[in-house]
Structure 1
Amino acid sequence: MQNLTEFSLNATSLKTLSIIIKVCVVIPSFFFFLCCIVVMLHIFASHRQFLDTSRYILFAYMLINDTLQIVSSVLLFLFVMGKVKFAIVYCMPLLFISTATFHNTPLILATMSLERYVAIFYPLQRPAAWHSNRIWIIILFVWFISCILPVIEYSIGERDPTVDALSTPVICKNSEVNPSPIQTFFKAVVSVLFFAVVAVIIIFTYVRILLETRKMRQDRVSVNKAMHTVLLHGFQLLLCMLAFTHPITETLVLNSSWSAEDVAFFNYFCFMLIPRFLSPLIYGFRDQSLRGYIGKAFLCCSNKVKPRLPL
């Protein structure tokens, strides 16, 4: 009996330590990401010339979307780690925002790829919808697609009659709110479609842009920079698309030494958080115009917190 008690205490201590480590990994990363996003959005708000270019408008839109996605997913992560339970009616808004913005990310990547394709191949005959003053039409269309999917997802399937949406407390995650097999099948179909369509768009547009860059005989530095951008963008897309395979990875490792919670955390951190953290790096710090403003912003912040030496 004593051995069983000690084993139970050790297991509880290890589980608590695991939760603490996960929280300590996520929270600092979240605040660093949020700091970069705030700086970039401040630059966009302070320098109106960026809002006259479709590429920068889409970039700002992606930053806002990633911020909503990260904030909602981190809140859900903390609630699950703390085993906080509340009614479905309060849980659904967070799940809706998290799901809609999650689907929105690959659509934004595809839209940004198409914008670059149109800007390079049709600089004088650019369609009106791709102009900076009309780009909001495309953004609204992307938002519509992203929002209609979770509405369909949460409306299909059977509900547990013992669960009252207004009063029954549950852990706020999709598997608890709607564990229907129909919903699982719908999510799998949507994941395959997103991967196929977005991957084809991005690969086609960036390969064409890269070939056009080589044909124009740009200098070697420009060609290498374009190639590195393509590789980083492809890596980000790969991470985003791998997030759709989390049910498969969780099923494959059920017989391994990893627990289901550890696998879910690995998928969450690597395939949901890291792609969002890469967005400022890829599109912000690699952009020559933005990089100068970002350096000045961080330099001003460091000068403000620098202590003054006594006279």
Structure 2
Amino acid sequence: MSYANQSQTNFTIGQQYQELLGLVLFSILSVVPCCVFLFINGTMLFTLRSKTVFRETSRYILLYNLLFADTVLLVQSQLLYILAACRITLTYPVCGVLTMLASLTNAISPLTLVLMSLERYVAVCYPLRHAAIITIRNTGMAIIVIWAFSSLNVLIQVLLLLNFSFEDLQSLQMKYFCVRESMLLNLMSDLYEKAYTGFVFVSAGVAVTCSYVGVMVAARSASTDKASARKARKTLLLHMVQLGLSLSSTVRDPLLFSISQFLDRIIFVRIQIVLYVCMTIFPRCLSSLIYGIRDQTIRPILMNNLCGWQHSLRVSVTPAQTKIGILITS
């Protein structure tokens, strides 16, 4: 009997060790890419503020707004992921602040992609009026409208949450991990979230598609710059891909909730990490990769800044290593 208990104990400990080892390995696979892309995004944001040409060109201003929102959302998502991996639950107010921040920045990406698509459409279809329509002032006003629209959405969500009877809860401490669905505490909040998400992405999809069709039609005109139209068409296709990937991140949590009912916990955690990397991390880093590689104006400056950071890190580490070596030898 004692031998059977000992075997059962050893099996349980071994299983727990495998679960912990698998969680650590998969967490590394998600944390490391996130840190790398945050570094690239941060360098890209610095690059877009380092030169006058970037600060005074509308499409680069829009790109900065897109990257800023994606970077903030990526930091927030990684924070919630680390808390969930460490099995740390939050209170409803703290979780509410984090999820509302995610709601604020989540809609910025598709709406900014709409503005970037319209800017390309005007550049190809109305090249003579482009400078008069796409000005720094108009671009700034459009960005303000986007943030105001997203802030209004957050305000409505807060007002819907206030209708929930929090006093009926035994404690404000959450029983589950903090995700967006955890704050949909009543039917109205759930319906509004689905309606708002659907409206934003359908509207953005229609706008980007119409811009693409307009550029296609203009490309057949003899008066249109063929090279410019072809480049704009490829850019709009990439915007469609970005929009689709951003939409995929909104269905990640409902998808995980559905499959969690049928899978073993270890398999579910691994699938959760894979979906997190593919649907959350990668879409938020696509803009830096696309524009950092494709844009001939950004690429040399971005590469120079990336190499500069590496050189600075190497210079800062070398004296410390030299001092340690002297102390050891002495």
> TM class, shorter-chain normalised?
0.7 to 0.9
Render the CA deviation track for 1:245-278: whole Å, top value 9, x for unaligned.
3355335534356755444434332222111111
- Whether 1:63 aligns to 2:71 is no
Render the CA deviation track for 1:28-81: whole Å, top value 9, x for unaligned.
112211221222222222211211111000011111111111111111111111
CA–CA separation in structure 1 for the residues paired with 2:215 and 2:83: 44
Render the CA deviation track for 1:127-160: whole Å, top value 9, x for unaligned.
9773113322111111112222233224325244
Render the CA deviation track for 1:175-199: whole Å, top value 9, x for unaligned.
4444333322222222221221111
Q: How does 1:112-191 map to 2 (within 5 A)?
A: 112-126=116-130, 130-156=134-160, 158-160=164-166, 161-162=168-169, 165=172, 168=173, 171-191=177-197
- Whether 1:85 aligns to 2:93 is no
- The change in CA–CA distance for 1:12 and 1:183 in structure 2 (over 3 A counts) is farther
AA partner of residue 288 (structure 1): Q
- Whether 1:53 aligns to 2:57 is yes
- Confirm or deny: 8 A CA contact 1:110 1:202 kept in the other structure: yes
- Confirm or deny: 8 A CA contact 2:184 2:190 kept in the other structure: no
- Whether 1:207 aligns to 2:229 is no
1:133 is paired with a residue whose SS is helix
- Whether 1:281 aligns to 2:289 is yes
- Confirm or deny: 8 A CA contact 1:129 1:135 kept in the other structure: no
Aligned CA-pair RMSD: 3.0
AA partner of residue 34 (structure 1): L
Structure 2: gaps of 5 or more residues? 320-330
**What is the aligned length?**
304
Q: Based on CA coordinates, which of the two structures has the bigger radius of gyration?
A: 2
- Whether 1:231 aligns to 2:241 is no
2:302 pairs, out of 290, 294, 297, with 294
- The change in CA–CA distance for 1:197 and 1:87 in structure 2 (over 3 A counts) is same
- Whether 1:255 aligns to 2:259 is no
TM-score of the two chains, using structure 2 as the length reference: 0.79
Which range moved further: 124-133 or 200-209?
124-133
- The change in CA–CA distance for 1:77 and 1:5 in structure 2 (over 3 A counts) is same
Which range moved further: 246-255 or 42-51?
246-255
TM-score of the two chains, using structure 1 as the length reference: 0.84
- Confirm or deny: 8 A CA contact 2:104 2:150 kept in the other structure: yes
Structure 1: gaps of 5 or more residues? none
Of structures 1 and 2, the one with the larger relative CO (CA 8 A, separation 6+) is 2
- Whether 1:244 aligns to 2:245 is no
Task: Name the structure 2 match of 1:107.
Answer: 111
Render the CA deviation track for 1:54-110: whole Å, top value 9, x for unaligned.
100001111111111111111111111112234333333222212211121111111
AA partner of residue 122 (structure 2): V
2:28 pairs, out of 21, 24, 29, with 24
- Confirm or deny: 8 A CA contact 1:129 1:138 kept in the other structure: no
CA–CA separation in structure 2 for the residues paired with 1:263 and 1:189: 27
CA–CA separation in structure 2 for the residues paired with 1:44 and 1:185: 39
Which range moved further: 268-277 or 153-162?
153-162
- The change in CA–CA distance for 1:249 and 1:122 in structure 2 (over 3 A counts) is same
Shift of 1:236: 1.8
Which range moved further: 85-94 or 275-284?
85-94
Q: Percent of counterpart pairs with the same letter?
A: 24
- Confirm or deny: 8 A CA contact 2:27 2:273 kept in the other structure: no
